[in-house]
Amino acid sequence: MHLELPIKNRVSLRWNHALWLFIVLLSAYLQASGQVPGWRYDQALIDNGHYWLLLTGNIVHLNWAHWGLNVAGLTIGIFFFGSYGSVFHWLFVIFVAAIFVGFGLYWFNPEVMTYVGLSGVLHGLLIYGGVREIRVYPASGYVFLLILIGKLIWEILYGVVPGSEDLITGRVVTDAHLYGAIGGALATVLLGLFDQLVEVKNGQQNTEHNQ
């Protein structure tokens, strides 16, 4: 059994679209105003107590080509999956995925001195969206997740997807994609448990109200 959701809901405006617009505009502003160095993940500065850079590196980009590629990926994700969660749900996934990316790089990739980009968090968002897609459109949801997981496996075994570094004229840190996806998967599980608890609580309240 799965939920039925008209395809038109993919493009209907929702409150969480304000969240995506804010992310896009903020990242564009930081790029245009030259504030990337002050926001990027920087291992040396983190060692000196600038811990917020573990998170803020996800919102800035190497260049406009890098920004455009990530925004394009985010836009595709919003189109297909944006209606599947509230602002709270998406913020939670973003936060958990960003934590996994930042701390994953810091603990397991000491050779990465600086890092920028939304792609790690984006993989987490797409994991959540793909799982939610399965509840509504199982076939497309499973296909999407298989493609995404296949991409991650390719990066683990063979490294960067051919052509991606040429597009951004810089190095792609593929481990960030894996960390973000793991964070997104964990956030998906936690939100599923949270939603179940809310449903149980609401069910109990309705039962008590009807008695």
Query: For the segment 83-133, what is each residue's pLDDT rounded down to a tens digit?
Result: 898 999 999 999 999 999 999 999 999 999 999 999 999 999 999 999 999
Structural domain boundaries enclosing 126: 8-199
- Residue 204 in domain: no
- Residue 209 in domain: no
- Residue 12 in domain: yes
**How many structural domains does the chain have?**
1
CATH classification of the domain holding 14: 1.20.1540.10
Other residues' Cβ atoms within 10 Å of the Cβ of residue 146:
11
- Residue 30 in domain: yes
Quick one: pLDDT at residue 207?
Answer: 61
> Is residue 143 over pLDDT 70?
yes
